[in-house]
């Protein structure tokens, strides 16, 4: 059993991840079409979903969603649902990994074959995703402890740069009157959706308690504002839209004067590398467990005979193998623009998937109450 | 899974990884040539071609040995990307742009339009966005060929001067390539660049004391040194500089250590728009033409003299900038940032800017007179 603080880590990882991922690109793309208001709407939506989800999953201490669904729903409904959820998680990591390979090729080593990089990542991610939920959380803690100070440093450098144009930020703010687009709301709420990993990780929590909502609100708001306005301040309101990876270009515009390296990009790349790999590991772990939940025989699972455990372990290898193959295939098919389209699709479907998850969980809570 | 099979699997994985590494096309550092500066010029008789000049540092073991090795390669080509590939057949190692810190644009080229080269640098991955651009007079090639005797690392002198890492001169209008790029794209703010010239008295000395003001892509006007200094006072907070004035026929110079410029756009009624500048300047008296003692009341008078002369000079500069139609200080952007009518604000500003008036208010505070009164 782990402490409650790991809940905040899960949230923080997902939020920080989106400081650099496709969310800034989407928000900046819509900057003249309502993403400013979208961001503002997204913050309360994100908080309410967290609050609801935590309240509901609290009722099932030590249980993951596969167990909860198995207990309160008929087999024919919950199995396809688990599959769908697993797909959402897998899709999230696939978009991240494929985009990340693109970034590596673009900024670090264009001479190396992208497949070599991707295969390296896939080996790492699938081996780590097999670890237990608890040890993943401990690893996550360590990574965050190293990376968060670097992120704070870079944020400080960006905001304190004399080249940061506050007028550009204010100009973007004047577009607040436009009605928000669905994509920008979906994109901005994704910052808050780290909590959803509880569908599996709830197994290792005694009883999740979230009291410091103001911390979540403050960090989430700060990150979503940074994700959108830091590129605008350093690359211009118009200019930010011309960059494929706005956050990378933003960091490349910063210079570290008294340090062994001059370009901030390299520091940023390491941070992004760790965060996106850890994020992918966690997503794969969740997706894998959800898929295993489909195949598990819940009737006799109390006690769990060793034979079943062995078959589960073999099944996990298969699941991860198929995931890897799918990501490799995606990397082969996808170019820069279709990767972006995939990301937009993902953000929109995820938004509704999250709402669906809330509804289903609410249904289970009602069933439990009527059963009691 | 037993420990043994695990070990076997890990071993197989490691072997697989080593195969992958063999496939990498990575070149070691001793197989690379670092381009430290590049220049672009027009070719007189062929308008479709540009002349690209690359200064390439040849790595030496010990930077302290004082042995400087760099070569300059020139290539006429129809595009940058092509010029780079053409140059590759003139050298024996891989070209690397990751250390290219200086971009020199020949005057003739900068007056024609800089968009294509600027685009290439922003787009290419290993060129830094924090490169220092500058306009080179008479042309980039001449400037690149000059290596001042003070240069310790090949091609370093221009980067040090332009970055103000070495010298810190109030005449250098420091900028980065990302800054130029965003100003090119943004409406309501225009790019500027420092101008590097050959010093016409000393041999092998460069001089960076002018500023090129540009419309979106070409140089419109080059500000004289004193004007560049004033422009820097308006742009940079706490600029270290000197400012001078005359009172009762004698000349006074002040060492500025505190400066701040703020402006606000006021529209009292259509047709009477005004930009109100507020300059706060603090510092010490550094030089004085007559040798008499200065009293406190005289110091106060001197402050007033500074206020008046600076206000006049700055107004003149702002009007001169306005006449060129460029906007290096971002008045337009400020107007857009403070007005919410996004559809009409741009036309409004365009109609307003050519006849806008400036009101400059200076507040000088001379803290002391140095060691002698």
**pLDDT single digits (tens) A196-235:** 999 899 888 888 888 888 999 999 999 988 999 999 999 9
Which residues of A are less than 8 Å from B187 in CB distance?
A: 238
**pLDDT single digits (tens) B143-159:** 888 888 777 777 778 88
Give the pLDDT confidence score for residue B182 in this predicted structure: 92
**pLDDT single digits (tens) A317-346:** 888 999 999 989 888 888 888 888 888 888
- From B46's Cα to the closest Cα of chain A, the distance in A is 32
- pLDDT of B5 higher than 80: no
Give the pLDDT confidence score for residue B51 in this predicted structure: 92
**Cα Rg of chain B (Å, integer):** 26
Q: Is residue A219 assigned to a domain?
A: yes
Q: How far apart are CA B53 and CA B35, in angstroms?
A: 10
Q: Is A161 on the interface with B (CB under 8 A)?
A: no
Which residues of A are less than 8 Å from B185 in CB distance?
A: 236, 238-239, 242
**pLDDT single digits (tens) B22-41:** 445 556 667 778 888 999 99
Give the pLDDT confidence score for residue B212 in this predicted structure: 94
Test B337 with A123 for CB contact under 8 angstroms.
Answer: no
Test B186 with A112 for CB contact under 8 angstroms.
Answer: no
Q: What is the mean pLDDT of residues A259-274?
A: 83
**pLDDT higher for A312 or A346?**
A346
Give the pLDDT confidence score for residue B151 in this predicted structure: 76
* Lowest model confidence (mean pLDDT) among A61-65, A285-289, B55-59: B55-59
Q: What is the mean pLDDT of residues B178-192?
A: 92
Question: B205, B151 in Cβ contact below 8 A?
Answer: no
Among A160, A171, A255, A258, the residue to mutate for chain B (most B Cβ within 10 A): A171
Report helix, strand or coil for A35. Answer: helix
Q: Is residue A147 assigned to a domain?
A: yes
Q: Name the residue ranges covered by the structural domains of chain B.
A: 29-223, 225-372
Which residues of B are less than 8 Å from A313 in CB distance?
A: 1
Nearest CA in chain B to A236: B182
Give the pLDDT confidence score for residue B107 in this predicted structure: 92
Test A171 with B337 for CB contact under 8 angstroms.
Answer: yes
Which residues of A are less than 8 Å from B120 in CB distance?
A: none
Q: Is B14 on the interface with A (CB under 8 A)?
A: no
Q: Is residue A302 assigned to a domain?
A: no
Q: State phi, psi for B54 to the nearest 5 degrees.
A: -120, 130
Q: Is A362 on the interface with B (CB under 8 A)?
A: no
Q: How many residues does chain A have?
A: 372
Predicted confidence band of residue A300 (pLDDT cuts 50, 70, 90): very low
Give the pLDDT confidence score for residue A297 in this predicted structure: 65
Unique residue bearing structure tokens 């793309």: A29
Test A163 with B176 for CB contact under 8 angstroms.
Answer: yes
Computed over every residue of chain B, the mean pLDDT equals: 86
CATH 3.30.300.210 fits B225-372, yes or no: yes
Which residues of B are less than 8 Å from A252 in CB distance?
A: 128-130, 178
Which residues of B are less than 8 Å from A255 in CB distance?
A: 130, 176
- pLDDT of B20 higher than 60: no
Q: Is A252 on the interface with B (CB under 8 A)?
A: yes
Give the pLDDT confidence score for residue B23 in this predicted structure: 46
Q: What is the mean pLDDT of residues B57-64?
A: 68
What is the reported pTM? 0.86
Give the pLDDT confidence score for residue B22 in this predicted structure: 46
- From B244's Cα to the closest Cα of chain A, the distance in A is 26
Q: How far apart are CA B126 and CA B100, in angstroms?
A: 9
**pLDDT single digits (tens) A66-103:** 888 888 888 888 888 898 899 999 998 888 888 888 88
Q: Is B179 on the interface with A (CB under 8 A)?
A: yes
DSSP string computed for B200-252:
SSSTT-EEEEEEEEESSSSEEEEE-HHHHHHHHHHHSTT--EEEEEEETTEEE
**pLDDT single digits (tens) B240-252:** 888 888 888 888 8
**Cα Rg of chain A (Å, integer):** 21
Nearest CA in chain B to A103: B125
Percent of chain A with pLDDT over 90: 33
ipTM of predicted assembly, 2 dp? 0.84
Give the pLDDT confidence score for residue B3 in this predicted structure: 67
- pLDDT of B354 higher than 70: yes
- pLDDT of B135 higher than 50: yes
Q: What is the mean pLDDT of residues B214-224?
A: 91
Q: What is the mean pLDDT of residues B286-304?
A: 85
Give the pLDDT confidence score for residue A9 in this predicted structure: 92
What domain range includes position A153?
4-295+307-370
Sheet with B357-368, edge to edge strand ranges: B241-247, B250-266, B274-288, B357-368
- pLDDT of A190 higher than 50: yes
Give the pLDDT confidence score for residue A117 in this predicted structure: 85
Show which of residues 189-218 on chain A sit within 8 Å of chain B, judged by CB atoms.
none
Give the pLDDT confidence score for residue A47 in this predicted structure: 92
Burial class (CB within 10 angstroms; exposed 0-12, middle 13-18, buried 19+) of B314: buried
**pLDDT higher for B187 or B165?**
B187
- From A7's Cα to the closest Cα of chain B, the distance in A is 31
- pLDDT of B211 higher than 80: yes
Q: Is B120 on the interface with A (CB under 8 A)?
A: no
Among B27, B101, B129, B162, the residue to mutate for chain A (most A Cβ within 10 A): B129
Quote the number of domains for chain A: 1
Nearest CA in chain A to B175: A163
Test A120 with B237 for CB contact under 8 angstroms.
Answer: no
Percent of chain B with pLDDT over 70: 92
Nearest CA in chain B to A121: B17
Q: Which of A165, A175, A238 sits opposite B342 (nearest CB)?
A: A175
Q: Is residue A300 assigned to a domain?
A: no
Computed over every residue of chain A, the mean pLDDT equals: 87
Give the pLDDT confidence score for residue B25 in this predicted structure: 52
């Amino acid at each position: 059993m782990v402490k409650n603080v790991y809940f905040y880590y899960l949230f923080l990882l997902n939020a920080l991840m989106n400081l650099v991922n496709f969310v800034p690109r989407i928000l900046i793309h819509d900057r003249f079409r309502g993403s400013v208001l979208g961001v503002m709407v997204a913050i309360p939506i994100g908080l309410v979903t967290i609050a609801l989800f935590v309240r509901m999953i609290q009722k099932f201490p030590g249980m993951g969603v596969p167990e909860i669904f198995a207990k309160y729903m008929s087999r024919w409904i919950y199995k396809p649902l688990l599959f769908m959820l697993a797909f959402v998680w897998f899709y999230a990591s696939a978009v991240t990994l494929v985009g990340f390979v693109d970034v590596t090729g673009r900024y670090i080593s264009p001479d190396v074959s992208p497949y070599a990089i991707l295969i390296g990542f896939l080996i790492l991610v699938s081996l780590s995703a097999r670890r237990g939920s608890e040890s993943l959380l401990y690893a996550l803690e360590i990574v965050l402890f190293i990376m968060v100070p670097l992120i704070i440093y870079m944020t400080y450098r960006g905001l304190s740069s004399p080249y940061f144009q506050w007028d550009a930020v204010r100009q973007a703010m004047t577009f607040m009157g436009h009605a928000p687009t669905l994509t920008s709301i979906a994109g901005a709420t994704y910052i808050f959706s780290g909590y959803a990993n509880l569908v599996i990780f709830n197994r290792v929590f005694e009883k999740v308690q979230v009291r410091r909502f103001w911390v979540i609100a403050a960090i989430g708001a700060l990150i979503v504002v940074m994700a959108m306005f830091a590129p605008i301040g350093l690359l211009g309101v118009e200019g930010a839209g011309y960059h494929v990876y706005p956050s990378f270009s933003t960091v490349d515009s910063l210079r570290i004067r008294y340090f062994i390296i001059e370009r901030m990009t390299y520091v940023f790349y390491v941070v992004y590398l760790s965060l996106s790999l850890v994020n992918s590991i966690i997503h794969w772990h969740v997706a894998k467990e959800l898929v295993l939940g489909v195949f598990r025989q819940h009737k006799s699972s109390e006690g769990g005979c060793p034979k079943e455990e062995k078959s589960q372990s073999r099944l996990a290898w298969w699941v991860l193998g198929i995931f890897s193959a799918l990501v490799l295939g995606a990397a082969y098919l996808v170019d820069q623009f279709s990767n972006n389209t995939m990301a937009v699709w993902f953000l929109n479907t995820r938004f509704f998937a999250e709402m669906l998850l809330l509804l289903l969980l609410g249904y289970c809570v009602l069933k439990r109450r009527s059963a009691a | 899974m037993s420990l043994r099979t695990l070990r076997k699997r890990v071993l197989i994985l490691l072997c697989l990884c080593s195969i992958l590494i063999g496939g990498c096309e990575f070149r070691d550092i001793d197989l690379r040539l670092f381009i430290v500066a590049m220049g672009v010029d027009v070719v007189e008789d062929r308008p479709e071609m540009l002349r690209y000049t690359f200064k390439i540092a040849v790595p030496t073991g010990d930077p302290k040995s004082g042995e400087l090795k760099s070569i300059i390669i020139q290539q006429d080509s129809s595009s940058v990307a092509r010029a780079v590939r053409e140059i590759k057949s003139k050298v024996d190692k891989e070209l690397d742009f990751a250390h290219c810190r200086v971009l020199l644009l020949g005057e003739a080229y900068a007056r024609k339009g800089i968009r294509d080269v600027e685009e290439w640098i922003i787009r290419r991955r290993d060129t830094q966005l924090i490169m220092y651009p500058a306009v080179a007079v008479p042309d980039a090639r001449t400037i690149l060929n000059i290596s001042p005797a003070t240069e310790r690392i090949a091609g370093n002198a221009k980067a040090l001067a332009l970055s103000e890492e070495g010298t810190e001169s109030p005449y250098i209008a420091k900028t980065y390539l990302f800054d130029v790029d965003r100003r090119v794209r943004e409406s309501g703010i225009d790019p500027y660049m420092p101008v590097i010239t050959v010093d016409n008295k000393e041999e092998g000395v460069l001089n960076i004391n002018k500023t090129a003001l540009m419309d979106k892509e070409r140089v419109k006007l080059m500000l004289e040194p004193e004007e560049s200094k004033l422009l820097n006072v308006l742009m940079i907070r706490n600029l270290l500089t000197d400012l001078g004035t005359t009172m009762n026929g004698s000349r006074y110079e002040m060492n500025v250590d505190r400066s701040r410029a703020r402006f606000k756009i006021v529209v009292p009624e259509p047709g009477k728009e005004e930009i109100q500048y507020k300059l706060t300047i603090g510092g010490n008296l550094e030089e004085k033409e007559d040798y008499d003692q200065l009293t406190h009341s005289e110091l106060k008078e001197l402050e007033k003299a500074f206020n008046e002369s600076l206000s006049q000079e700055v107004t003149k500069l702002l009007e001169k900038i306005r006449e060129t139609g460029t906007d290096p200080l971002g008045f337009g952007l400020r107007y857009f940032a403070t007005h919410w009518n996004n559809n009409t604000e741009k036309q409004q500003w365009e109609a307003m800017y050519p006849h806008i008036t400036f009101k400059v208010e200076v507040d000088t505070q001379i803290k002391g007179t140095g060691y002698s009164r």
